C-alpha cells in the first residue's frame, strides 16, 4: 500500500482528505478539530516514509485559494468593524496578540526552540492557518535550495503540536474563567437582547390617526424616532400606492410596515394605532410580491440607494435574505451575489424587476472564472513585490499575504465597473474548504517525517509547554481585559477572544456555554483584523528569533 501511495501522490492527497475531513467532525467531550484533522492525517501518512509527500504545488495552490477567498468574504466586514465599538474591540485584540507574540519569542529563547518551530507554535496556539501559510512563504524566500524542505518542515512541526492545544486550551480557559467569575449568561442575555433583533421581523398594518407636522414624510419619521421601519404600501381611501422615503403621510392612511417589534411599537405610538391582527390587503390584480435571487451584474455590488428604485419601476424591497439571516433593507446596504430580495411591485412591471435583479439560481451557484482568476493573479503579483524594512532589509507578502490583501480590497469594493469581484456565498464556502484541505493535506504529508524525527529525539516537551502557555495566557489576558477592565459582558468577551484566536471550534463551544448567538458579534468584529494581524506578527516573530 505504501508503494502505491508513493507512486500516486494524487491518491495520497485524496485519501488524506477523505479520512481527515470526517474525523474532524467527531466530538470528544464536545470538542472537534474541524478541518484541522486533515493536517494530522497528513502527518500520520507522512510519518510512514520520508518520500510520502504531496507535490509542493498542492499546498501552494491551496494556500492561495484559501487566503484569497477569506479576503473576499472578510473585506466588507473588515471595514465595518471599525464603526461603533470596533475600534475598541480591535484595539484590545491588537494589544493581546502583540503580547502573545512577545511571550512566544521569550519562551523560544528560554527553551532554545528553533525559530521556525516557534513561529509554528504561535500559529498553532492561535489556530491561524493563514499565518502558517505566511510563515512558510517567508521561509521559501530566504531558504537555500538544499535546506528548503527541512526549514519548511519546522513551522509545521510546531503548528501540528500546538494546534490541538490551541483548540482545547481556549475552551478550558473560558470554562475556568466563567466558573471563577461566576458568570450568569442567562442574566446577561436578558440585558443584551435587543427587541429590534434583525432576525425577528414583523409585518403589520398601522392606521395613521395623527400626523405632526402635517408634511411629515416617511424618511423624516424614521430619522426623528431613530428607527428603520420599511413602509411598503399605503391605502388612502380606495387607492393603493407604494410608499417611498419622500411619501407624505396623512391622517386616515393605512400603512403596511415591516420592522423590529420595538421600533414598530414606537412608530405606532407616534402615528396612532397598530393593527397587529389586521393585515392590509393587496389588490393582486395590480400588485404582487416576489422573492428574487440577486444574480445580475447590474445589481450586484451596488447599494440599495444606488438602484434608484423610484426612478425605474417603482418597486419596493421589503426584505433581504443572506444565507440564513434576514435583514431590513437600508440605503447603504450593498447587495451581494446570491442575496434573495422580497420585492413589491406593480404586476405589469414585475417581469422587468425580476429581469433587473437576475433571479438565476444557476448564476448564484457559479464562479466568474475570469474575475476570480484575475484577482488571484493580482494578489500573486503583489506578493512578489519586495517591501523595504526601516533600517535595511525587505520582505515579500508572498503567496499568502498578497492574495489576502488583494482579496480584502476587492471584497470591500465588490465591483469595478462591470467586473464583479465578490463570490456567491455557497461558492465562497466551497473554495475556502477546498483550498484549506489542499493546504493542510499538502503541508501535513511533507512534514510528517520531520515531526516523527523531532518527537523521537525528545523535542516535543518544550513545544508542548510553549503551546500551552501561549494559548492559555492569551485567552486569559483577553478575557480579563475585556470583562474585568473594559467591563464588557462575558457573552461578548468570549466572542472577542474566540475571534482573536480565529477559532471556529471555540465559537461553537461558546455558543453551547452561553445558550445564545450574541457572541457572534464579538467574534465577527475582530476576526478579520486578527487574521491579518497574525500574518504580520508571525513574520515579526521570525525576524526577532533570527529566522529571517
**pLDDT tens string 131-159:** 887 788 778 777 788 887 778 888 888 88
Pair 286, 233: CB distance under 8 Å: no
In angstroms, the first-to-last Cα distance of the chain is 40
Cβ atoms of 207 and 268 within 8 Å: the answer is no
Is 217 a domain residue? Answer: yes
215 plus 237 within the same structural domain: yes
The whole-angstrom separation of Cα 306 and Cα 296 is 15
Bridge partners (DSSP) of residue 273 are: 207
Regarding whether 254 and 208 lie in a shared domain, the answer is: yes
Task: With H, G, I as helix, E, B as strand and everything else as coil, classify residue 87.
Answer: helix
Which grid coordinates are listed for 170?
A: 481556549
Residues 258 and 324 in one domain: no
In 237-339, at which residue ranges do the beta strands (DSSP E only) sit? 239-242, 254-259, 272-275, 287-293, 316-322, 325-327
Q: Given CA atoms 406, 433, 417, 336 in this order, what sign does their dihedral have? A: negative
**Does residue 255 belong to any structural domain of this protein?**
yes
In a domain, 265, yes or no: yes
pLDDT in the model for residue 103: 95
Q: What is the pLDDT of residue 277?
A: 45
Query: Is residue 232 assigned to a domain?
Result: yes
310 and 359 inside one domain: yes
pLDDT at residue number 282:
47
DSSP string, 480-496: IIIIIIS---HHHHHHH
* Domain-located, residue 43: no
User: 291-325 pLDDT, tens per residue?
Assistant: 888 888 788 777 887 777 666 666 778 788 876 66
Q: Are residues 263 and 325 in the same domain?
A: no
Least confident span in 34-48, 168-182, 189-203, 285-299 = 189-203
The cell for 444 is: 501535513
SS (H, E, C) 199-255: CCCEEEEEEECCCCCCCCEHHHHHHHCCCCCEEEEEEECCEEEECCCCCECCCCCEE
Band of pLDDT at residue 119, cut at 50, 70 and 90:
very high
Residue 280 has pLDDT above 60, yes or no: no
- Going by C-alpha positions, the residue among 9, 17, 53, 8 that lies closest to residue 434 is 17
* Confidence grade of residue 252 (pLDDT, cut at 50, 70, 90): confident
Q: Nearest 5°: phi and psi at 217?
A: -100, 165
In angstroms, the Cα distances linking 421 to 4, 68, 375, 414 are 42, 11, 8, 5
- CATH number reported for the structural domain that contains residue 222 in this entry: 3.30.70.1450
Q: Which pLDDT score, from 0 to 100, does residue 475 have? A: 94
Residue 306 domain flag: yes
Domain assignment present for 416 = no
419: part of which helix (H) or strand (E)? Answer: strand 419-420
Rounded to the nearest 5 degrees, what angle is found at the Cα of 213, between the Cα atoms of 209 and 214? 70
- Per-residue pLDDT at 83: 58
Q: Is the bond preceding 305 in cis, omega lying within 30 degrees of 0?
A: no
Do 303 and 267 lie in a common domain?
no
pLDDT digits (tens, 9 = 90+) for 215-242: 888 888 888 888 878 787 788 887 777 7
268 Cβ contact partners less than 8 Å away, ≥ 6 residues apart: 206, 274
Sign of the four-CA dihedral 55, 57, 59, 62: negative
pLDDT tens sequence across 324-334: 667 767 777 77
Q: Which domain holds residue 309?
A: 287-364
Last residue of a domain, one of 364, 390, 406: 364
pLDDT digits (tens, 9 = 90+) for 156-178: 888 888 877 887 788 889 888 98
How many CB atoms are closer than 10 A to CB 483?
22
User: 403 to each of 68, 122, 216, how far by Cα in Å?
Assistant: 5, 22, 50
Kindly state whether residues 270 and 307 are assigned to the same domain.
Answer: no
Contact indicator for 501, 153 with CB cutoff of 8 Å: no
Same structural domain, 207 and 259: yes
In the predicted structure, residue 544 carries a pLDDT above the cut 90 = no
Confidence of residue 6 (pLDDT cuts 50, 70, 90): confident
Rounded distance, CA 383 to CA 461, Å? 36
**Residue scoring higher pLDDT (120 or 84):** 120
Q: 527 near 499, Cβ under 8 Å?
A: yes
Residue 201 has pLDDT above 80, yes or no: no
Domain total of the chain: 2
Burial class (CB in 10 A: 0-12, 13-18, 19+), 426: middle
Final residue of a structural domain among 275, 297, 327: 275
Confidence of residue 471 (pLDDT cuts 50, 70, 90): very high
**Nearest alpha carbon to residue 113 among 450, 461, 443, 471:** 461
Helices (H) and strands (E) in the chain, counts: 20, 13
**Contacts of the segment 7-11: beta carbons below 8 A, 24+ positions apart:** 9/53, 9/54, 9/55, 9/58
What average pLDDT does this structure show over 375-381?
Answer: 91
> CA-CA distances (angstroms) from residue 265 to 198, 246, 262, 277, 506?
15, 22, 5, 14, 38
pTM (predicted TM-score):
0.64
C-alpha cell of residue 220: 423624516
The whole-angstrom separation of Cα 61 and Cα 236 is: 61
Q: Of the candidates 320, 341, 364, which is a domain's last residue?
A: 364
Provide the pLDDT for residue 524.
Answer: 67
Residue-level pLDDT at 480: 95
pLDDT digits (tens, 9 = 90+) for 451-466: 777 677 666 788 889 9
Is 408 a member of any domain?
no
Highest mean pLDDT among 138-142, 206-210, 469-473: 469-473
The mean pLDDT value of the chain amounts to 80
Question: What is the DSSP-derived secondary structure letter of residue 303?
Answer: B
Pair (295, 346) in one structural domain: yes
Matching residue, cell 457572541: 519
Q: Which residues contact 229 (CB under 8 A, 6 or more apart)?
A: 221, 222, 257, 258, 259, 263, 264, 267
> Are 265 and 299 part of one and the same domain?
no
User: Which burial class, exposed, middle or buried, applies to 422 when counting CB atoms under 10 A from its CB (0-12, 13-18, 19+)?
Assistant: buried
Q: Do the beta carbons of residue 163 and residue 502 sit within 8 Å? A: no
Most trustworthy range by pLDDT among 86-90, 386-390, 476-480, 495-499: 476-480
Predicted confidence at residue 107, as pLDDT, reads 94
Amino acid at each position: 500500500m505504501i508503494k502505491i501511495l508513493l507512486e500516486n501522490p494524487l491518491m495520497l492527497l485524496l485519501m488524506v482528505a477523505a479520512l481527515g475531513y470526517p474525523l474532524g467532525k467527531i466530538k470528544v467531550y464536545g470538542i472537534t478539530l474541524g478541518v484541522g484533522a486533515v493536517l494530522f492525517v497528513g502527518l500520520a501518512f507522512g510519518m510512514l516514509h520520508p518520500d510520502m509527500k504531496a507535490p509542493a504545488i498542492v499546498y501552494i495552490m491551496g494556500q492561495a485559494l484559501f487566503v484569497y477567498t477569506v479576503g473576499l468574504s472578510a473585506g466588507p466586514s473588515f471595514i465595518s468593524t471599525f464603526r461603533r465599538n470596533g475600534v475598541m474591540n480591535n484595539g484590545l485584540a491588537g494589544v493581546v496578540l502583540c503580547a502573545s507574540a512577545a511571550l512566544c519569542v521569550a519562551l523560544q529563547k528560554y527553551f532554545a526552540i528553533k525559530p521556525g518551530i516557534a513561529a509554528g507554535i504561535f500559529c498553532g496556539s492561535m489556530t491561524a492557518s493563514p499565518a502558517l501559510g505566511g510563515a512558510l512563504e517567508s521561509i521559501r524566500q530566504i531558504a537555500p535550495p538544499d535546506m528548503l524542505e527541512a526549514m519548511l518542515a519546522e513551522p509545521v512541526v510546531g503548528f501540528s503540536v500546538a494546534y490541538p492545544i490551541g483548540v482545547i486550551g481556549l475552551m478550558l480557559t473560558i470554562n475556568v474563567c466563567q466558573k471563577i467569575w461566576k458568570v450568569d449568561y442567562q442574566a446577561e442575555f436578558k440585558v443584551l437582547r435587543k427587541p429590534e433583533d434583525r432576525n425577528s421581523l414583523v409585518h403589520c398594518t398601522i392606521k395613521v390617526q395623527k400626523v405632526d407636522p402635517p408634511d411629515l414624510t416617511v424618511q423624516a419619521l424614521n430619522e426623528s424616532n431613530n428607527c428603520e421601519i420599511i413602509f411598503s404600501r399605503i391605502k388612502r381611501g380606495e387607492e393603493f400606492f407604494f410608499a417611498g422615503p419622500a411619501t407624505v403621510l396623512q391622517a386616515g392612511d393605512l400603512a403596511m410596515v415591516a420592522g423590529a417589534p420595538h421600533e414598530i411599537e414606537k412608530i405606532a405610538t407616534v402615528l396612532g394605532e397598530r393593527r397587529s391582527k389586521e393585515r392590509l390587503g393587496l389588490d393582486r390584480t395590480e400588485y404582487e410580491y416576489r422573492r428574487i435571487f440577486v444574480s445580475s451584474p447590474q445589481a450586484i455590488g451596488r447599494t440599495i440607494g444606488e438602484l434608484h428604485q423610484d426612478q425605474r419601476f417603482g418597486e419596493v424591497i421589503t426584505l433581504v435574505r443572506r444565507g440564513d439571516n434576514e435583514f431590513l433593507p437600508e440605503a447603504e446596504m450593498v447587495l451581494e451575489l446570491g442575496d434573495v430580495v422580497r420585492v413589491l411591485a406593480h404586476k405589469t412591471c414585475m417581469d422587468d424587476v425580476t429581469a433587473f435583479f437576475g433571479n438565476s439560481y444557476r448564476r448564484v451557484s457559479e464562479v466568474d472564472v475570469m474575475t476570480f482568476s484575475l484577482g488571484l493573479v493580482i494578489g500573486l503579483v503583489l506578493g512578489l513585490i519586495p517591501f523595504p524594512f526601516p533600517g535595511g532589509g525587505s520582505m515579500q507578502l508572498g503567496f499568502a499575504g498578497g492574495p489576502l490583501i488583494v482579496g480584502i480590497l476587492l471584497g470591500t469594493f465588490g465591483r469595478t465597473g462591470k467586473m464583479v469581484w465578490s463570490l456567491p456565498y455557497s461558492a465562497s464556502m466551497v473554495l475556502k474548504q477546498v483550498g484549506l484541505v489542499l493546504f493542510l493535506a499538502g503541508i501535513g504529508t511533507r512534514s510528517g517525517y520531520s515531526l516523527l524525527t523531532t518527537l523521537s529525539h525528545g523535542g516535543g516537551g518544550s513545544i508542548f509547554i510553549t503551546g500551552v502557555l501561549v494559548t492559555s495566557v492569551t485567552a486569559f489576558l483577553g478575557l480579563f481585559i475585556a470583562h474585568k477592565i473594559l467591563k464588557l459582558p462575558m457573552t461578548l468577551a468570549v466572542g472577542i477572544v474566540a475571534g482573536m484566536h480565529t477559532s471556529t471550534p471555540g465559537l461553537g463551544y461558546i455558543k453551547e456555554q452561553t445558550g445564545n448567538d450574541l457572541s457572534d458579534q464579538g467574534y465577527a468584529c475582530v476576526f478579520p483584523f486578527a487574521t491579518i494581524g497574525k500574518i504580520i506578527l508571525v513574520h515579526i516573530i521570525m525576524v526577532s528569533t533570527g529566522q529571517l
